[in-house]
Amino acid sequence: MMRIPEKIRLKNLELLITEAGSAAKLAERVGTNSSYISQVRRQMRTKKGTPRGIGDDLAEKLERGMNKQEGWMDTLHRDESHIAGTEVNAHLGPDIRNLCPVISWVQAGEWMEIAEGYQPQYGQELLPCPVSCSNDSYVLRVRGISMEPKFHDGDLIFVDPHADPVHGKYVVVMIEDTAEATFKQLIVEEGHQYLKALNPEWPNRIIEVNQNARICGVVVFKGEMV
């Protein structure tokens, strides 16, 4: 299976080809062999049976030749799906424009303050969300048993901070005077908001929240529609 960093490099290669005008023109500008770029794009196999990829040397050469900053090839560029009016489609499986970073529960509480201009770092875990979500969406790993039996410890949940938090949705919430966000079901009744733990054995399953809580996002996917 192709790793996410390799997908990012291949996607960015397609962006550079579009920017240069063609694969041949790109190869000429960066001083590399156009036939190798073609082999990389077609994922031709080496003698060892592995797909040809974009190694560090080629990545650096592409960055220098196209006047990109160091590390550009390893960064997800969500706003560059169109260059000069041409749609780029690298046919790499799930659309990587929907890749979401896996972040911590502490980061989730302040995500909207740091999301603008955020660029995933090389090696950071990124996961493709198969449903429609905003570019500011993120992924959390469920901790604990408060949301069993629907959500288990270690489950991955995709969270969209721009989705509408309506009654019955599962939300990530930052409560005042706490260090990190929490995850519960939102209950709205008669103008009041409550957070509900799904686990029937959980103490204080339902708590009322008012101005002391801030919703940080709505869960949109967890391997199934939620």
Structure confidence by residue, pLDDT tens digits, 162-201 = 999 999 999 999 988 888 899 999 999 988 999 999 999 9
Give pLDDT tens digits for 77-93.
654 443 333 333 434 44
Its sign, for the CA torsion 67, 73, 75, 76, is positive
The last residue of a domain, from among 88, 115, 144 = 88
Tokens of 151: 């959500």
CATH number for the domain harbouring residue 169: 2.10.109.10
**Mean pLDDT computed over 13-29:** 88
Indicate whether 94 belongs to any domain.
Answer: no
Does residue 191 sit in the same domain as residue 121?
yes
Does residue 69 sit in the same domain as residue 108?
no
The last residue of a domain, from among 44, 65, 88 = 88
Greater confidence, 91 or 10? 10
Closest CA to 218 of 155, 176, 169: 169
Q: Name the domain count of the chain.
A: 2
Indicate whether 226 belongs to any domain.
Answer: no
The last residue of a domain, from among 88, 114, 144 = 88
Does residue 84 sit in the same domain as residue 115?
no
Supply the pLDDT for residue 191: 87
Does residue 57 sit in the same domain as residue 104?
no
- Return phi, psi of residue 21, to 5°: 110, -30
CATH number for the domain harbouring residue 81: 1.10.260
Does residue 163 sit in the same domain as residue 103?
yes
Does residue 134 sit in the same domain as residue 156?
yes
**Separation CA 35–CA 27 (nearest Å):** 9
Q: Tokens 């969209």 identify what position? A: 160
**Mean pLDDT computed over 63-71:** 91
Greater confidence, 126 or 5? 126
Lowest mean pLDDT among 30-39, 72-81, 195-204, 208-217: 72-81
Indicate whether 155 belongs to any domain.
Answer: yes
Does residue 63 sit in the same domain as residue 169?
no
Does residue 36 sit in the same domain as residue 129?
no
Does residue 127 sit in the same domain as residue 213?
yes
> Is residue 194 within 8 Å of residue 209, measured between CB atoms?
yes
pTM above 0.85, yes or no: no
Does residue 169 sit in the same domain as residue 197?
yes
Does residue 31 sit in the same domain as residue 106?
no
> Is residue 173 within 8 Å of residue 214, measured between CB atoms?
yes
Indicate whether 93 belongs to any domain.
Answer: no
Where in the sequence is the domain holding 178, given as residue range(s)? 99-221
